[in-house]
């Protein structure tokens, strides 16, 4: 597979690195371009890919193109690559709808829209994708294989991507905030900062891994560690007194609403 990448920032670089490591294509089969030449050159040095001189050159040399650019520059880029014919375009531009991408590319390309998240940078991402009207089942398989190189992925309807953005796209920030609070709480009760940090990180990571590896309902695992009138019980009662679950749900609703606003602007 000849893979093109337009946009060589952190997410584009992470995807290419994962794809090469998974042997889905070799570095020799990857061609990249970025408006900032130093970004493309950095990818060439670190991964051994080929650097193109323009967006059009990437498209002409590729079968599948990852569009890893910011939403505000996607329109001009599509205008340029819309002159070519029938490629698979996989866009990670937040908020830009499939119909807008298809129209911008003059309806000459198959389109898949993806919502990845930042843990993809360490191959522990969680992403979802939706197919455009002319994308095929084969395109879905290609997209899934590429995204699986950097973590978990699933296929959804485009109407669900705002929810995906709110849950897994923005979700790492919610977890980071919780980690900050855990660390601060530990320090306030006498732990050294480095010990509080390590305990918090391994607790969060271990809890998620326990759910994944056991396949158990998180509610059951929570109940298993909560003794009546014990320390965990007291902590959960405190969280619930401040409507902890409701606050998380409202945060997701706020992010989803903002995602819809950005998509319609």
CATH of the domain at 224: 1.10.3730.10
Domain boundary among 123, 138, 161: 161
Least confident of 64-68, 87-91, 92-96, 165-169: 92-96
Same domain for 25 and 140? yes
**181 and 219 assigned to the same domain:** yes
d(CA 263, CA 265): 6
Tell me, yes or no, whether 114 and 174 share the same domain.
no
The residues with which 110 forms a beta bridge, in sequence order, are 88
Instruction: Look up residue 252 and give its two tokens.
Output: 């997701």
| Same-domain check for residues 54 and 100 | yes
Indicate the pLDDT class of residue 184, thresholds 50, 70 and 90.
very high
Which of 138, 161, 184 is at the close of a domain? 161
How many domains is the chain partitioned into structurally?
A: 2
Same domain flag for 106 and 236: no
**Cβ neighbours, 10 Å, residue 247:** 12
Q: Which domain holds residue 100?
A: 3-161
Examine the domain organization and report whether 88 and 36 are in the same domain: yes
133 shares its domain with 49: yes
| Residue 178 and residue 226 share a domain | yes
pLDDT digits (tens, 9 = 90+) for 35-62: 999 999 999 999 999 999 999 999 999 9
Instruction: Report in angstroms the alpha-carbon separations of 32 from 50, 61, 91, 120, 150.
Output: 6, 10, 15, 19, 18
Q: How many CB atoms within 10 Å of residue 9? A: 14
Give the Cα-Cα-Cα angle 80, 115, 252 (nearest 5 degrees).
135
Whether residues 126 and 234 share a domain: the answer is no
Task: Please indicate, yes or no, whether residues 60 and 105 belong to a single structural domain of this protein.
Answer: yes
Same domain, 144 and 202: no
CATH of the domain at 14: 3.40.50.720
Do 178 and 142 lie in one domain? The reply is no
pTM assigned to the model: 0.91
| Residue 265: per-residue pLDDT | 67
Q: Which of 145, 161, 177 is the last residue of a domain?
A: 161
Could you tell me which of 99, 51, 43, 101 has the C-alpha nearest to residue 71?
A: 101
Token digits for 110? 């198959």
Summarize pLDDT for 204-260 with one digit per residue, the tens: 999 999 999 999 999 999 999 999 999 999 999 999 999 999 999 999 999 999 988
| C-alpha to C-alpha distance for 204 and 123, rounded to whole angstroms | 18
């Amino acid at each position: 597979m000849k893979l093109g990448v337009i946009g060589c920032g952190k997410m584009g670089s992470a995807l290419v690195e994962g794809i090469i490591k998974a042997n889905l294509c070799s570095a020799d089969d990857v061609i990249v371009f970025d408006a900032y030449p130093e970004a493309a050159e950095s990818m060439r040095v670190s991964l051994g890919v080929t650097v193109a001189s323009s967006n059009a050159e990437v498209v002409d040399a590729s079968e599948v193109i990852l569009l890893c650019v910011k939403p505000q520059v996607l329109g001009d880029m599509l205008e340029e690559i819309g002159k070519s014919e029938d490629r698979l375009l996989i866009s990670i531009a937040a908020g830009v709808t499939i119909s807008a991408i298809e129209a911008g590319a003059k309806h000459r390309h198959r389109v898949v829209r993806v919502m990845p998240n930042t843990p993809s940078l360490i191959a522990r991402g969680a992403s979802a994708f939706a197919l455009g009207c002319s994308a095929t089942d084969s395109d879905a398989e290609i997209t899934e294989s590429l995204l699986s190189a950097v973590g978990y992925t699933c296929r959804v309807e485009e109407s669900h991507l705002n929810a995906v953005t709110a849950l897994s796209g923005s979700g790492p920030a919610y977890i980071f905030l919780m980690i900050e609070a855990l660390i601060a709480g530990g320090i306030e009760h006498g732990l050294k900062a480095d010990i509080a940090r390590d305990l918090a990180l391994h607790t969060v990571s271990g809890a998620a891994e326990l759910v994944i590896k056991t396949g158990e309902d998180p509610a059951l695992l929570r109940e298993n560690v909560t003794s009546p009138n014990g320390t965990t019980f007291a902590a959960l009662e405190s969280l619930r007194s401040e409507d902890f679950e409701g606050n998380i749900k409202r945060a997701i609703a706020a992010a989803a609403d903002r995602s819809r606003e950005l998509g319609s602007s």
